[in-house]
Amino acid sequence: MIKRILLVDDSPLIHNLLRKTLEKHGYEVAGDAMNGKEALELFAQLSPDLVFMDITMPIVDGLEAAKAIKSQQPTAKIIMLSAMGDEEIMSQAKALGIDIFLQKPFDDYKIISAIAKVI
Amino acid sequence: MDMRMTVPFVEALQDIFKQMAMIEVQTDGDPFNDNEEVHSYGVSSIITFAGKIKGRFLIDLDTQVALQAAKNITGSSYDSPKEQMVLAVVSEMNNIISGNAITKLNNEYGLSLRLAPPIVFAGTDVVISIPKVASASVTCTTACGKLKASVAISKA
């Protein structure tokens, strides 16, 4: 069964690059959210197998969105994909139960091997 | 301005252009104090950050540098720097450069800096004026044109 993935990032470039990588490797992009608020709405509608979540976004940031998703569904699988990766922010992500934290930039291998560890 | 603060930004600029866009960036010299208005080369992006200090990072690219970066990253050719994906490339590259640099500064100095989403604009008639903030700039050369990076930092 094809795994369905929700992409959350305020950059159209990241959606473009992730979509190419995921589809090339047999995954389906379930939806595209441009901020944390849209992520919460689409997560509830689409029930994806996995979420790729940026941190720095307008309206609701990725940490807040991940916290809300995890509170609704503790088993939700979330990979953080952020330009930031300092100890403090990684510790915050870990406390939320984030499965994997990746720092941008990324390549296909980094993305696909992270997915394989989570789903 | 403490020139040590510029080092992570310049290193990240060179790393990210090479890794993402396959563009080698050579600095023309050391960073210099720069409180002049910025007359844009063609495409510019600014990102602000705040924590125990605050500041902003600006990249300003020749149009050809922006178009070549967009082509190398997305695999598509673009005619104008005002196309959405060209602006998205410059904006996201600035986000990643700044995020990587801020990560180093946070880990080294415990500054708890956080980024705001970047802004981006295109046009050679753009003048960016940031008064009363100490900034340091470095001009750079690539095979497809010039670029400038500028860091400004002040007390929070």
Query: Taking all residues of chain B, what is their mean pLDDT, rounded to a whole number?
Result: 92
Question: What average pLDDT score do residues A107-114 get?
Answer: 97
Tokens of B82: 């005002």
Give the model's pLDDT for residue B31.
Answer: 87
Read off φ and ψ for residue A35, nearest 5 degrees.
-160, 175
- The contacts found for A93-96 with CB under 8 angstroms, 24 or more apart, are A93/A63, A93/A66, A96/A63, A96/A66, A96/A67, A96/A70
Locate B10 and state its tokens: 């310049």
Q: What are phi and psi of B37, to 5 degrees?
A: -65, 145
Which class is A4-118 in CATH?
A: alpha beta
The two three-digit tokens of residue B66, written as one number:
């922006």
Q: CB of A103 within 8 Å of any CB in chain B?
A: yes
| Contact call for residues B133 and B17 (beta carbons, < 8 A) | no
Q: Name the band, by pLDDT with cuts 50, 70 and 90, for residue A93.
A: very high
- Return the structure tokens found at B70: 């967009």
pLDDT of residue A22: 98
Q: B91 to chain A: which residues are within 8 Å by CB? A: 11, 13
What per-residue confidence (pLDDT) applies to B101?
97
- Which residues of A fall within a CB distance of 8 Å from B117? 10, 56-58
Per-residue pLDDT, B155: 81
Instruction: Quote the CA–CA distance of B135 and B149 in Å, as a whole number.
Output: 10
Q: In this predicted structure, what is the pLDDT of residue A50?
A: 98
Q: How many domains does chain B have?
A: 1
Q: Considering only alpha carbons, which residue of chain B is nearest residue A58? A: B117
Nearest to B107 among A13, A56, A86 (CB): A86
Mean pLDDT of B121-150: 86
Whole-number pLDDT of residue B48: 95
Taking residues A5-33, what's their average pLDDT?
97
pLDDT computed for residue B134 by the predictor: 79
Contact B106 A88 (CB under 8 A): yes
Confidence of residue A109 (pLDDT cuts 50, 70, 90): very high
Is the pLDDT at B132 greater than 80, yes or no? no
- pTM value is 0.94
Of A12, A84, A88, the CB nearest to B85: A12
Which residue of B16, B92, B106 is in closest CB contact with A13?
B92
Inform me whether the C-beta atom of residue A105 falls under 8 Å from chain B C-beta atoms: yes
- ipTM, two decimals: 0.93
Give the nearest partner residue to B19 out of A12, A84, A105, using CB atoms. Answer: A105
* Cβ pair B99:A83 closer than 8 A: yes
Domain ranges of chain A: 4-118
| pLDDT for the residue A40 | 98
DSSP assignment of A90-101 equals HHHHHHTT-SEE
Enumerate residues 6+ apart whose C-beta is below 8 A from B30.
Answer: B3, B138
Stretch 4-63 of chain A: residues touching chain B, C-beta under 8 Å: 10-14, 16-17, 56-58
Sorting pLDDT into bands at 50, 70 and 90, what band is B131?
A: low
CATH code for position B79: 3.40.1550.10
A51 or A99: which leads in pLDDT: A51
- For residue B97, give the chain A residue with the closest CA: A83
B17-76 pLDDT tens trace? 999 999 999 999 988 888 777 788 999 999 999 999 999 999 999 999 999 999 999 999
Structural domain boundaries, residue B16: 3-155
What's residue B130's pLDDT? Answer: 66
pLDDT in tens, A31-52: 999 999 999 999 999 999 999 9
**Among partner residues A11, A87, A103, which is closest to B88 by beta-carbon distance?**
A11
B85–A16 CB contact, under 8 Å? yes
Mutate to test the interface with B, among A61, A86, A108 (most CBs of B within 10 A): A86
Residue in this structure with the two tokens 């992570």, named with its chain if needed: B8
